[in-house]
Amino acid sequence: MIVKNKVGLMSKLAMFEKSSEGKMALRDISLFRYDHIRWDLLKTGASVTVGYALILALIIMYNLEYLIKNATSLDYKDIGVKTLGIYLVVMVVYLVFTFLYSAYTYSKNRRKFVKYRKLLSQMERIYDEEETEEESK
């Protein structure tokens, strides 16, 4: 027998599973919170490193004539310390932002998943009631 509540719950569950937000929530919740945050931090760290290396290469190429002319008189230690310092500051800023954003999105997706689980529990109760009705007949 078709139950109106059952059809409504099934459609809500299907809409959640098919939506992009639902897919993201289910994917994110498949990991533990700290694993999700670590994965995002790892991706950000790798991206910042590659981006910084590319920007540094462009700066070197732009100033190549000056670097070649003054190769013997440059203070390489000072250049290295400044370059590393800027890299560390940029990395820390991006990692802090990523940590905060990742923790926020995980908690938001967790709340969505809790609502999804409640709907699943309601659906399970409906199936259990139908099963007990069939057994009693």
Contact residues for 105 (Cβ-Cβ < 8 A; gap 6+): 28
Residue closest to 117 by CA, chosen among 13, 32, 3: 13
Mean pLDDT of all residues in 89-110: 96
Statement: residue 2 has pLDDT above 70: no
- To the nearest whole number, what is the mean pLDDT of the chain? 91
Distance CA 79, CA 86 (A): 11
Rounded to the nearest 10 degrees, how much is the dihedral formed by the CA atoms of 110, 111, 113, 116? 170
Q: Of residues 61 and 124, which shows the higher confidence score?
A: 61
Number of domains in the chain: 1
Residue 99: exposure state from Cβ atoms within 10 A (0-12, 13-18, ≥19) = middle
Determine if residue 48 is left, alpha or beta; phi over 0 gives left, psi from -120 to 50 gives alpha, anything else beta.
alpha
What is the dihedral sign for C-alpha 57, 61, 63, 67?
A: positive
The model's pLDDT over 39-82, given as tens digits with 9 standing for 90+, comes to: 999 999 999 999 999 999 999 999 999 999 999 999 999 999 99
State how far the alpha carbon of 92 is from the alpha carbons of 45, 86, 99, in Å.
Answer: 9, 10, 10
Query: Where in the sequence is the domain holding 36, given as residue range(s)?
Result: 4-136
Statement: residue 17 has pLDDT above 60: yes
Distance CA 129, CA 123 (A): 10
How big, in percent rounded to 5, are the helix, strand and coil portions of the chain?
90, 0, 10
Q: Give 12's pLDDT tier (boundaries 50, 70, 90).
A: confident
Statement: residue 133 has pLDDT above 60: yes
Contact 75, 13 (CB under 8 A): no
Statement: residue 1 has pLDDT above 60: no
Answering whether pTM is above 0.95, one says: no
